Amino acid sequence: KMAGSSAPWIGSAYLFLQSTCKTIILPSLYESSQKKPSVFKALKLALADSTGSVNGVDMLKVHCSHPHLIVQLKFCKQENCRRFLQSYREGALQESLQNHLQLSLAMTTVPLQMELKAGNEHLDNMLKDEDRCLECIYREKPDRLRDEEITELEECLKSLIVHQSINNNMAVKGCASLNSPSLPYPSQGSSLSPQVTFIFQGQQFDNRMLTPDDHQKFAKLVSKKWKQVGRSLQKTCRALRDPVIDNLALEYDREGLYEQAYQMLLRFIQSEGKKATIARLIPALEENGLVSLAEELLGLHSNQDYS
């Protein structure tokens, strides 16, 4: 049957993407050196959403075959492939990719059609039979290593995230086109969402985007309640649906509560961009009885330690 006793579970599939809007031609956007990083970033984030992990599925190559953009995918774990298939079947992957493309390319909407194939099999015709889909993907072993261009784009994306985490205003040479709202910590000079101030405990505070310092304090102090905060945020953030929160809990279980909380808030920041503000986090903390953490983030605890 599928995986042997010791052999790792590895499979491959092709994701065919086409915009249903005549003015948006995905292969042309990907062939543009200026737009390519933005399209790649949207693909990467949407695939991460689908498996609940940045490394859940690997992109080996992106082919431009007008009018389709064809992404060759590699799966190294059966459970990641199951999550991907579930996300694809339920339309969550499509919705996520549409949203990420819209943010990355600064467009009003990017409607998509998707098709999934493994070898000669059209998986869209058998999505209800998940085990059969898994067998088809498992039979198709990847016929290539990751394309050099994909590796370069991956490195560019990683270096940008790291640099932006260290310094909000640092531009990464050669990767400026990747700097769009759905990456962590947009530059503080960016325009805020319409809510300029908010009220907490009868006081008025200026709204602002979440900073790396906020991010670290939250992860350190929220403890076991990070899931509840995530569920409060999910009311206005599609990227924090229950499966995503549950997947983060499983994936970062060994690393502990700090990393689980850090990754949850990272999802919020990545998906919401400029709208990932303190005015949205504070009510989620209040709702879950985390008033002292809210006060800490707003600078109301001068020298007290709440670790």
Cβ burial, residue 282 (10 Å; 0-12/13-18/19+): buried
Domain total in the chain: 2
The amino acid present at 115, given as its one-letter code, is E
Is residue 16 domain-shared with residue 148, that is, in the same domain?
yes
Specify if 172 maps to a domain. Answer: no
Helix (H) or strand (E) holding 72: strand 68-75
Q: Is residue 64 located within the same domain as residue 130?
A: yes
Helices (H), ranges, 92-225: 92-104, 130-139, 148-166, 212-221
The residue segments making up the domain with residue 267 are 197-298
Cα–Cα separations (whole angstroms), residue 183 to 75, 100, 103, 147, 198: 24, 10, 10, 23, 25
Tell me whether residue 192 is in a domain.
Answer: no
Q: What is the CATH number of the domain that holds 288?
A: 1.10.533.10
**Cα–Cα nearest to 262, from 296, 208, 217:** 217
pLDDT over threshold 50, residue 123: yes
214 and 271 assigned to the same domain: yes
Tokens encoding 51: 């498996």
The closest of 277, 259, 257 to 268, measured between CA atoms, is: 277
- State whether 66 and 123 are in the same domain: yes
50-59, 113-122, 183-192: which has the highest mean pLDDT?
Answer: 113-122
Q: How far is CA 299 from CA 34, 191, 293, in A?
A: 40, 22, 10
Residue 280 has pLDDT above 90, yes or no: yes
Assess whether 137 and 32 both reside in one domain: yes
Q: Is 174 within a domain? A: no
Q: Is residue 107 part of a domain?
A: yes
Structural tokens at position 127: 């999505």
| DSSP bridge partners of 197 | 206
Tell whether 131 is covered by a domain: yes
- Tell me the two tokens of residue 91: 């339309």
**146 lies in the same domain as 17:** yes
Question: Is the domain of 133 the same as that of 266?
Answer: no
Averaged pLDDT for residues 148-164? 75
* 33 vs 265, more confident: 265
Are residue 137 and residue 233 in the same domain, yes or no?
no
Q: What is the pLDDT of residues 180-202, one digit of tens each?
A: 434 444 444 444 445 688 888 88
**pLDDT score, position 262:** 95
Shared-domain flag, residues 124 and 204: no
Asked if the structure places residue 180 within a domain, the reply is: no
Backbone angles phi, psi at 290, to 5 degrees: -105, 55
Identify the domain boundary among 152, 180, 210.
152
**215 falls within a domain:** yes
- Identify the domain boundary among 123, 152, 181: 152
Nearest-angstrom CA–CA distance, 227 and 262: 11
Q: Which amino acid is at 204?
A: Q
